[in-house]
Amino acid sequence: MRRTATAPAKINLFLHVGAADADGYHPLASLVAFADIGDRVSVQPAERLSLEVEGPFAPTLAGDNDNLILRALRCLGQATGKGPPALKVVLDKQLPIAAGLGGGSSDAGAALRLAAQVLGLAADDPALETAAAVVGADGPMCLHARPAWAEGRGDWLTIEPRLPDLPIVLVNPGVPSPTGPVYRAYDAGPVRSADRPAPPDDWSPHGVAAWLSRQRNDLEAPALSLAPAIGEALAAVAASQGVLLTRMSGSGATVFGLYADDAAARAAGEALAAHRPEWWVRACRLQGAQANVQLSGDNPA
């Protein structure tokens, strides 16, 4: 039986970053949410572990023999003591690469959830957490794909049950923003603190946007210094009708705008896509705490 799931885009609604520790890791505080769009991952039994990549952004991953999906599944095999799982994985790459959307980690999280279904592992099997951690600090949050406060290196998670669905537009100007160079640029400038703010009193879209306006993304300025096109995208979203808040996600280059309702987000997305057709623009929703990760079963293959 083939199983399929969305690997949702991950959005950092704010991102406070501290100075690197002795091991070179930066402490952070963030409120993370997941969109209702993303890559698609399919998993089915096979003779050996393999990965095929298709979709509009597949060429950028050509020749990647250490894809995070494969790394996570190999670790899952080690953690269960059964060796690499005999699975065929197909990744439909719909999200831009190096975009601040957690794509690779979310792909790995979806693959692990699906592998658990195919292999008959319990959803809370500790081997899944072990395998998720191997892909990076955001691996565990992408395994669960639910709104959460992330602290420490990003792996101290507290589920946030009050976050509602939020209408949003995602815009990527078509330039990569690799995490490593952005963090190095951040280290070269004024370093802030990884402070976690008190949560908002009002969890409506307007209330969340007003609260977020008092927070920040500490990687935005260094990312802008390396990729000025991010600034163009920020300005365009900020000028869109009905936008409540504009910010860059993660280390960029994707920026987002929050809107009061789906109609406003759709209208803004259409206007932005018409204005800059070369950009990647998607109107969607950030899924609140009540949303469940969607898994679907296909016909046996």
Residues labelled as active-site residues: 10, 138
Identify the bridge partners of residue 217 per DSSP, sorted by sequence position. 15
Are 87 and 118 a contacting pair, CB within 8 Å? yes
Listed in sequence order, the residues at least 6 apart from 132 whose beta carbon sits closer than 8 Å to its beta carbon are 72, 108, 109, 112, 139, 140, 142, 143
**Residues 236, 272: Cα–Cα separation, whole Å:** 7
Burial of 20 (C-beta count, 10 Å sphere; 0-12/13-18/19+): middle
Asked, as a colleague might, if the bond just before 72 is cis with ω within 30 of 0, I would say no
Measured at the CA of 284, the angle between CA 91 and CA 116, to 5 degrees, comes to 35
Token pair listed for 152: 């420490």
- d(C-alpha 265, C-alpha 254), whole Å: 16
Spell out the long-range contacts of 202-205 with Cβ–Cβ below 8 A and sequence spacing 24 or more: 203/162, 203/163, 203/164, 204/164, 205/164, 205/166, 205/167, 205/244, 205/258, 205/259, 205/260, 205/261
DSSP character string of 61-91? GTT-TT-HHHHHHHHHHHHHTS-S--EEEEE
What are 113's two structure tokens?
Answer: 């959830």
The CA radius of gyration of the chain, in Å to the nearest whole number, is 19
Scan for tokens 């879209």, then name that residue: 205
Residue 274 half-sphere exposure toward CB, CA atoms < 13 A: 7
